[in-house]
Amino acid sequence: MFNCMPYLFSSNKPQVLVADKISSDIKLDFSNVLIVPQISQLNSRNDVDLEREIVFEHSKRSWKGVPIMIANMDTTGTVEMARVCQKHHIITCLHKFYKAEDIPDDLDRNYFAVSIGTRPNDMDNLVDIMGKVKPYFICLDIANGYSSHIFNVIDDIRRTYPEATLIAGNVVTHEMVEQYYEHGVDIVKMGIGSGSVCTTRLQTGIGYPQFSCIYDTRQELNKRKTPKALIISDGGIQYAGDFSKAFGAGADFVMCGGLFAGHEECSGETIVENDVTYKVFYGMSSSNAMVKHYGSVANYRVAEGKCVKLKHRGSVDQTISDILGGIRSTLTYIGAAKMEEVADKATFIKVNNVANTIYNGREV
C-alpha cells in the first residue's frame, strides 16, 4: 500500500514532496489474473455447495444463500428480477426509486434489499418502506462513499433500525471499510469506476483496479484482525469466471449489473432494429438516468455513465444458471467444497492474456 500524505507548502520555500504519491506495485483487474488449479478430491460439480451461512456482525441476523447481488441500477434492480433471483437464493438490490407501495408482499425478504440515497426525500421514503415492507436489508448507495456526511446517515439508520442488515459504499480502500464497519455497516460495497457502463475513471481520474481493490483490502483486514468486516466486490465483472476471481481475492459477496442486463426481467426501453430486439442499459450516473429521475444534469456536475443497447437475452434464469455453473466448476478445480473455502484455496498468477480470442464474433 502507499502513503497518501499531501505535499507540504511553505510561503518562502519551494514545494517539497514529503511522501511517495505513487504506489510502487501495479494494481490488477480480473483480466490480469488467472486462478491456478489444485489437487481436488471433488469428483463432480454436484459435490460443491454455493450457499454460505452468515451471521451479520451488527444486525445479528443470520442469512443463508448464494453470495451474489444484482446491482441496484434501475434497469437491473427490479421486482421482476428479484422474483427470479430469490428462487436461486440470490439477493437483488432494488433500485432506490421504488416506493413502499411498489414492493409486493410475495418477495422473500432474505433475498432483496431496498436502496436509498442521502437526500431528505430518500430518508422519508425509507421510513415508509420500513413501515410497510419491513425489509431485512438496507443498501445505502451514494456516488462518493468518501463523503464524510455519509457517516451521519449510517449512524441514524443503525440507531433507528438496529435489526436491519446495512449495506453501504462505495469505497476502494481498507481504511474506509474499517470506518464503515465501526459505524455499524454490515457489508461494505467496494469498487469505483469499474462498472460496465461507468465512466467515472475517464471523467474524474478516480478509481482502483477491481481485483487489487478486493485483494489488498482483504489482506489488510486480516492483518488488522478485522476479518469480520464483510465486503462486496461491486463492478468489473465481464465473464462468469470473474465471480470466482472476486471470491478468491477475498470478497464475501459479488455485485454485478452488466451480466444481468438485457433480460426480460429488466426495465428500460425496448428497441427493435432490423428485426433484432434490444434492451437499453445505462449507468446510474449517466445523463439518461439523471434526466429520467431528476429532470436534468445539474450544471455543477458531469455525467459519469454511458448508455448502451444490448441484444434481448430472454429470461435471466438461464444466465444465472450459467454463472452458477461456472462457479461450481471453479470450486472443483481448486478442491473447495464450500464457498467459504474459496478465498483460502484460490491462488493466482498474473498473466498478459486470459483467453484465445481468434474466433471471437464467429460463434454460430
- pLDDT score recorded for residue 82: 98
Q: Report the 10 Å Cβ neighbour count for 7.
A: 10
- pLDDT score recorded for residue 329: 96
What cell was used for 309?
443497447
Instruction: Give the single-character DSSP code of 186.
Output: S
End-to-end CA gap in the chain = 46
Asked if 91 and 70 touch (Cβ cutoff 8 Å), the reply is yes
- Spatial neighbors of 265 by CB under 8 A, at least 6 apart, are 78, 80, 81, 83, 84, 315, 316
Q: Is 85 a catalytic residue?
A: no
Q: How far apart are CA 315 and CA 324, in angstroms?
A: 15
Q: Residue 14 above 60 pLDDT? A: no
Average pLDDT over residues 34-47: 91
- What dihedral angle (degrees, nearest 10) is formed by the CA atoms of 26, 27, 31, 36? 90
Catalytic residue among 76, 92, 173, 200: 200
- pLDDT score recorded for residue 93: 97
Strands 33-35 and 348-350: antiparallel
Does 25 reside within a domain? no
Range of the domain at 94: 30-350
Q: Is 200 a catalytic residue?
A: yes
Q: HSE, CB side, 13 Å, CA atoms: give it for residue 68.
A: 26
**DSSP letters of 117-143?**
-SSHHHHHHHHHHHHHT--SEEEEE-S
Q: Residue 249 above 60 pLDDT? A: yes
Does 331 reside within a domain? yes
Domain count, the chain: 1
Does 10 reside within a domain? no
**Tell me: the pLDDT tens digits for 170-228?**
999 999 999 999 999 999 999 997 766 666 666 788 889 999 999 999 999 999 877 68
- What dihedral angle (degrees, nearest 10) is formed by the CA atoms of 36, 343, 323, 105? 180
Does 8 reside within a domain? no
- Spatial neighbors of 95 by CB under 8 A, at least 6 apart, are 72, 73, 74, 77, 78, 115, 284
Does 236 reside within a domain? yes
Q: Residue 137 above 90 pLDDT? A: yes
**Tell me: the pLDDT tens digits for 251-307?**
999 999 989 998 999 988 788 888 888 888 765 544 454 444 444 444 544 445 557
**Where does residue 89 fall: left (phi above 0), alpha (psi -120 to 50 degrees), or beta otherwise?**
left
CATH code for the domain in which residue 271 is found:
3.20.20.70
> Which candidate, 130, 112, 24, places its Cα nearest to that of 72?
112
Task: Scan for cell 426495465, then name that residue.
Answer: 267
Q: How far apart are CA 35 and CA 346, in angstroms?
A: 6
Catalytic residue among 85, 93, 139, 198: 198
Asked if 211 and 194 touch (Cβ cutoff 8 Å), the reply is no
Q: How confident is the model at residue 5 (pLDDT cuts 50, 70, 90)?
A: very low
Task: Scan for cell 465483472, then name that residue.
Answer: 237
What cell was used for 68?
451474489
- pLDDT score recorded for residue 231: 97
Provide the residue type at 173 as one letter.
T
Does 360 reside within a domain? no
Average pLDDT over residues 41-46: 86
Asked if 283 and 305 touch (Cβ cutoff 8 Å), the reply is yes
Does 335 reside within a domain? yes
Does 111 reside within a domain? yes
Q: What are residue 331's phi and psi, to 5 degrees?
A: -60, -40
Continuous segment of H or E residues that includes residue 316? helix 316-334
- pLDDT score recorded for residue 9: 35
**pTM of the full structure:** 0.88
Q: How far apart are CA 185 and CA 166, in angstroms?
A: 5
Q: Residue 10 above 50 pLDDT? A: no
